[in-house]
Amino acid sequence: MKHFLVVLIFSCLALLGMAQKPLDKAKISLSNFQKSKSAADLTEANTQIDAFLKTPEGLKSAEAFFLSGILKKNIYDFGTQKNEKLITDAYQNFKTVLTQFSSFEEKEKTVEFTKYLGFDLYNVGIEKFNKKDYQGAYQTYELLQDLQNELAKFDQTLSYVNQTNNQKVELKSSDINNNFIIFASNSGNDTKAIGILEKEIETFPTANKYLQLLQFYVKVPGYEAKFPKLIDQALDKFPKDADLLIYKINHLMDKNQNTEAVSYLKKAIEVQPSKIEFYNILANIHEKDGRLDEAIKTYESAIKAQPNNYEANFNYAALVYNNSIKHYNAYNKEARPDDQKKYTEGFAKALELFNKVKTISPKDSDKLNGIINKIQEIK
């Protein structure tokens, strides 16, 4: 998560011109700060304006709310300690100007200053999350979302022009939402995270967003019924995404719909022929359903795709070995020549396959030697 730094000094006397008398002292203190950079001047100005805003006259003054927001932003930027309440109070003051004083002449500047607070809130949320204050991070981003909504009323987004290099700095909604989803999930507000993702998918769908939403649908009670429709919608848009295909396949297998799962696995192998996981799942279904020849063919295809893949080679060797054990036990019970032929050929093949696996993964030699020795004893 990246931080944005916005530090500005606002010249209120220049912006506001002549003020009502109760505001004069606060303006003078702010003007003194801009000359001296003494935090005491800011604190004094803030105290004066807060007192004024508690009066009936102050509550009717857009200028007072505007100046209060500017003061609190300055104190936050230049103070020795970053008190988040200064930012939230500054935003509430600016919001009051925007929503209750439609004719205020400095409304455009209020909108611009509100943007800077958005960058502050973005950073505060990240800092809280890093300190494991997940609920605090979530609440900060709830306020940031409200700020975005206010800016949208003026067709504005979180951006400004850096006065040093004249470059535009922008905070994208997708970046905010990505963080918000994480904060919501970690603070136990899964429903909020789901709502954000559902809106994101409507406006700018990606395979990763679908995956995130599918995970929530599985995790959060009451959303399971939405899973089938969403996974089909996701695969319509991203038919070659391996992770989405795995979700669909696992869903079908959980429902014991193996025939449908096999169909999707074959499709998955077509679009992702190097994804060994698909072969292993398909072979496992064939084996469980008694289609050993199909299982063997599937493992052979996997090894053709990745000759030195440990999992495919080991699973293939294990399948041949287990099948040989079945024929060996059957022969000992009924002494049928066909069983003897199959277990003899099978053990020879299994021995060859396990020796190959040992060359692929020498660190597993002890485990593999135990299997190899057992085969040699039976032969």
Secondary structure letter of residue 222 according to DSSP: T
Higher pLDDT pick, 168 / 98: 98
**Residues 15 and 129: beta-carbon distance below 8 Å:** no
Let me know if residue 135 belongs to a domain: yes
Instruction: List the beta bridge partners of residue 160.
Output: 169
pTM of the model as a whole: 0.74
pLDDT in tens, 86-111: 999 999 999 999 999 988 888 999 99
- Looking at residue 377, what is its pLDDT? 85
**Residues 144 and 125: beta-carbon distance below 8 Å:** yes
pLDDT at 248 over 60: yes
Let me know if residue 23 belongs to a domain: yes
Angle at which helix 337-360 crosses helix 365-378, to 10 degrees, equals 160
Number of domains in the chain: 1
**Residues 207 and 235: beta-carbon distance below 8 Å:** no
Let me know if residue 33 belongs to a domain: yes
**What Å distances lie between residue 128 and 84, 91, 134, 136, 141, CA to CA?**
10, 19, 7, 6, 11
Let me know if residue 288 belongs to a domain: no
Let me know if residue 304 belongs to a domain: no
User: What confidence tier does 133 reach under pLDDT thresholds 50, 70, 90?
Assistant: very high
Q: Which of 31-45, 141-155, 219-233, 329-343 has the lowest mean pLDDT?
A: 31-45
pLDDT in tens, 106-130: 899 999 999 999 999 999 999 999 9
pLDDT in tens, 296-343: 999 999 999 999 999 999 999 999 999 999 999 998 888 888 989 999
Let me know if residue 329 belongs to a domain: no
CA distance 155 to 76: 27
Let me know if residue 41 belongs to a domain: yes
pLDDT at 10 over 60: no
pLDDT in tens, 38-78: 677 788 888 888 988 999 988 999 989 998 999 899 889 88
For the chain, the distance separating the N- and C-terminal CA atoms, rounded to the nearest angstrom, is: 61
Let me know if residue 19 belongs to a domain: yes
CA distance 286 to 292: 6
Query: Residue 94: which domain range?
Result: 12-186
Counted residue by residue, the chain has a size of 379
